[in-house]
Amino acid sequence: MSTATLTIDRSALVDNWRSLARTAQVETAAVVKADGYGLGAGAVGTALAAAGAREFFVAAASEGVALRRALGSGPRISIFSGHMAGDGEAIRGADLVPMINSIDQLLRHVETLPGHPFGLQLDTGMNRLGMEPGEWSTLRDIALAQNPTLVMSHLACADEPGHPMNDQQRRSFDEMTAGIDAPRSLAATGGTLLGSAFHYDLVRPGIGLYGGLPFVDARPVVTLDIPVIQIRDVAVGETVGYANAWTAARPSRIATISAGYADGLIRAMGARAKLHSGDRAVPVVGRVSMDLITVDVTDLPEAPDSLQLIGLHQSVDTVAGFAGTIGYEILTGLGGRYERVWRD
Ligand SMILES: *Cc1c(COP(=O)(O)O)cnc(C)c1O
């Protein structure tokens, strides 16, 4: 095998969805934007639909079209970015439900696709997407008269349970949606874990399904094994990689492995990153290149055939930490060169 293998554990994915659904005790959707957080929206969606998920969310209409092809008719597919200019045909053809974010989007939607279902997204303080209280109060009665599928908002600080923003947004959501009949939704993964006050009628977890924080009890879903291309001995004082960034302080064995920043193993991981051979950790040395990473395997008893970056020993969030980023960015950045293997 010349490229790295990304193994995706279908039963862990399904277990994570079920366990968030048990926590929420309300309709539990699956967020599969960004190609299922990098793992493949079609395969993720198919597995979760088979487990009983009936509500899916994507960011853009084009993602919804691809997901509809994988899922067939039945599950609802909603779009966070709402109804953008030019999306009418995709929304109609793939039977997608835009989450309307503004008066302009609502006008566009009812003009382009009269009678086609839509949901509503409200801004409760994050200032990113959705209608603000003023805009909402003008539109509320007209929009609600058309039976929206969902009225939703999004939390800015849900991964910090003690953050006052959580209750502030919840109160704002309560005020903006008081007395309405439409189903309501406020929580993604973080909000689902904040407790029942945040669950309303539907929760929308994404990262937790894929084994990422803040769902600390998630089963790991992703394993990344990278083949060793070559191993060489390096004498004291010799250097490794671009800019001579690492110098051997002892006689060393260096393994060159087949993945790099073009595969989403970002250069900022630099020399803080570790990989594993079995349960032994081995450090990255020198710079991460586009297609290659060099690893000090001097302390291993045998030459490894491959090294593991993500797996039981090291979560996607640990790997993200090497680069000062979050698991979301590592997952969604995993490139197109991996062999993606689904395991049950
Ligand atoms: C991405 C997203 C989600 C899922 O968030 P996670 O933190 O991955 O669970 C839910 N709702 C909205 C509006 C989103 O943008």
CATH number for the domain spanning 146: value is 3.20.20.10
Q: What is the pLDDT of residue 271?
A: 77
Euclidean distance between CA atoms 28 and 298, whole angstroms: 48
Question: 236 and 115 share a domain?
Answer: no
Residues 16 and 116 in one domain: yes
Over 90: is that where the pLDDT of 254 sits? yes
- Measured from the CA of 158, which atom of ligand 1 is nearest? 7
Among residues 144, 176, 210, the one where a domain terminates is 210
Q: Where does 237-313 have alpha helices with state H? A: none
Q: Do residues 168 and 36 both lie within one domain?
A: yes
Both 157 and 262 in one domain: the answer is no
pTM over 0.85: yes
Instruction: Give the residue, by CA position, lying nearest to ligand 1 atom 6.
Output: 206
Could you give the 3-state DSSP secondary structure of residue 58?
strand
In a domain, 4, yes or no: no
The answer on pLDDT for 54 being more than 70 is yes
99 is in an annotated binding site: no
Kindly give the number of the ligand 1 atom that is closest to the alpha carbon of 31: 4
Show the domain range for 233.
Answer: 222-343
DSSP 16-55: HHHHHHHHH-SEE-EE-HHHHHTT-HHHHHHHHHHTT--E
Residue 86 pLDDT class (50, 70, 90 cuts): very high
| CATH number of the domain encompassing residue 293 | 2.40.37.10
1 annotated as belonging to a binding site for a ligand = no
Same domain, 257 and 294: yes
DSSP three-state, residue 180: coil
* Distance from the alpha carbon of residue 215 to the mean position of ligand 1, in angstroms: 13
Q: Are residues 179 and 243 in the same domain?
A: no
Average pLDDT, the chain: 97
Beta strand 239-240 pairing with 27-28: unpaired
Q: Whose CA is nearest to atom 10 of ligand 1?
A: 188
Q: So which residues are the catalytic ones? A: 33, 242
Task: Enumerate the H helices of the chain as residue ranges.
Answer: 10-24, 33-37, 41-50, 61-71, 88-93, 103-112, 133-144, 164-177, 189-192, 316-322, 327-333
Q: Backbone phi, then psi, for 9, in 5-degree steps? A: -90, 105
Question: Which tens digit of pLDDT belongs to each residue from 2-22?
Answer: 899 999 999 999 999 999 999
CA 147 to chain centre: 30
Residue nearest to atom 11 of ligand 1 (CA): 188
Q: Whose CA is nearest to atom 15 of ligand 1?
A: 80
Is 217 among the domain residues? no
**Is 188 a member of any domain?**
yes
Q: Going by DSSP bridges, is the β-strand pair 151-152/119-121 parallel, antiparallel, or unpaired? A: parallel
pLDDT digits (tens, 9 = 90+) for 263-305: 999 999 987 999 999 999 999 999 999 999 999 999 999 999 9
Q: Does residue 216 lie in a domain region? A: no
> Do 134 and 230 belong together in one domain?
no
Within a domain: 2: no
Residue 117, preceding peptide bond in cis (omega within 30° of 0): no
Q: Is pLDDT of 165 > 80?
A: yes
**Residue 94 pLDDT more than 70?**
yes
Write down the pLDDT at residue 1: 57
Centre of ligand 1 to C-alpha 190, Å, is 9
Average pLDDT over every residue of 158-185:
97
Ligand 1 centroid vs 328 CA: distance in angstroms?
Answer: 10
Q: What is the pLDDT of residue 270?
A: 83
Among 184, 210, 236, identify where a domain stops: 210
Atom from ligand 1 closest to the CA of residue 99: 13
- Exposed, middle or buried by CB within 10 Å (0-12, 13-18, 19+), for 240? buried
How is residue 38 written in tokens? Answer: 């990098």
- Residue 2 has a pLDDT of 83
* Residue 147 DSSP symbol: -
Structural domain contains residue 339: yes
Write out residues with Cβ below 6 Å of ligand 1. Answer: 31, 33, 80, 154, 188-190, 204-208
**Number of folded domains in the chain?**
2
- The percent of residues above 70 in pLDDT, for the chain, comes to 100
Q: Which atom of ligand 1 is nearest to the CA of 207?
A: 8
- Looking at the fold, whether 231 and 307 belong to one and the same domain comes out as yes
Cα of 58 vs centre of ligand 1, distance in Å, is 9
